[in-house]
Amino acid sequence: MMKTKLFALAAIAALGSGSALAQKAGDWQVGAGWLHFAPQDSSEPLTFTAPRAAVVPGSGANVDSSDTLGLSAQYFIDSHWAVEGVLGVPPKFKLQGAGTLGPIGELGEARQWSPTLLAKYYFLEGEAKLRPFVGLGVTYVWYSDVKLTPGLQGALASRVGIPAGRSTTSADLDSSFAPVFNLGAAYQFDQHWGMSFSVSYIPLKTTANLTTSVAGVPVATSESRLKVNPIVPYLAVTYKF
């Protein structure tokens, strides 16, 4: 009789522990961790649009990878469906010359802002400790702190016949919406703490618009179209409440 009671108590405790681990409707989960951007990039040649149209033959650019702190917040609609917002501390990307621009080396840098909203589906039941998931969402991307190196500014000036040091060139990168494809897995250690790893792919492109000025007066404009298409791993420690 005593053994039966002990077995029943253990079963109740196990059930209680399982339900505590469960991800269910109304749960919130926040996360923080390593967010990595690995561009799968390509570029079109640098093209002058004024004072006359001209392509810089063989020119190109590559975007370096970057790491930053990722932050996320997730709300469970039920035990399978969740909505998650992800934001990284804006990473700094460096642009390197390629082709005929290769000898210049670094062309410039910019910070990328890309808040993301995902709809996620978790497989298995909410009581499972390890749960794979897939997600689909959207991000809005814009750039700040865009800076061009003296090497690129000098090359642009020479292309339009301006003596070195007499001009300045500013740059603007187009902002845009882009879809986000996501998959990964989450592991729950206990009632509150867990870990999540995911990989996202973002088909992303932008156009760099350059304006070369002398004494504040624009004298030439140029542009280059970039496909960034980053693969984005995100490893986070999570807390559920």
DSSP assignment of 8-76, as one string? HHHHHHHHHHHHHH---TT-EEEEEEEEEEB---EEPPPEEEESS-EE-TTEEEEEPPEEEEEEEEEEE
Specify the pLDDT at position 166: 87
Domain spans in the chain, listed from the N-terminal domain onward: 30-240
Task: Please give the distance of CA 50 from its chain centroid, rounded to a whole number.
Answer: 33
CA-to-CA separations, 25 to 14, 16, 188, 207, 231, in angstroms, rounded = 21, 17, 16, 42, 30
pLDDT in tens, the chain (241 residues): 444 444 444 443 343 444 557 789 999 999 999 999 999 999 999 999 999 899 999 999 999 999 999 999 999 999 999 999 999 999 999 999 999 999 999 999 999 999 999 999 999 999 999 999 999 999 999 999 999 999 999 999 988 888 878 899 999 999 999 999 999 999 999 999 999 999 999 999 999 999 999 999 999 999 999 999 999 999 999 999 9
Half-sphere exposure of 110 (CA within 13 A, CB side): 21
Question: Can you read off the two tokens belonging to residue 145?
Answer: 């702190």
Question: Can you read off the two tokens belonging to residue 92?
Answer: 């700094």
According to CATH, what is the number of the domain 30-240? 2.40.160.20
Nearest CA to 160 among 45, 44, 56? 56
**Can you give the pTM of this predicted structure?**
0.87
Can you tell me the distance from the alpha carbon of 67 to that of 79, in angstroms, rounded to the nearest whole number?
Answer: 32
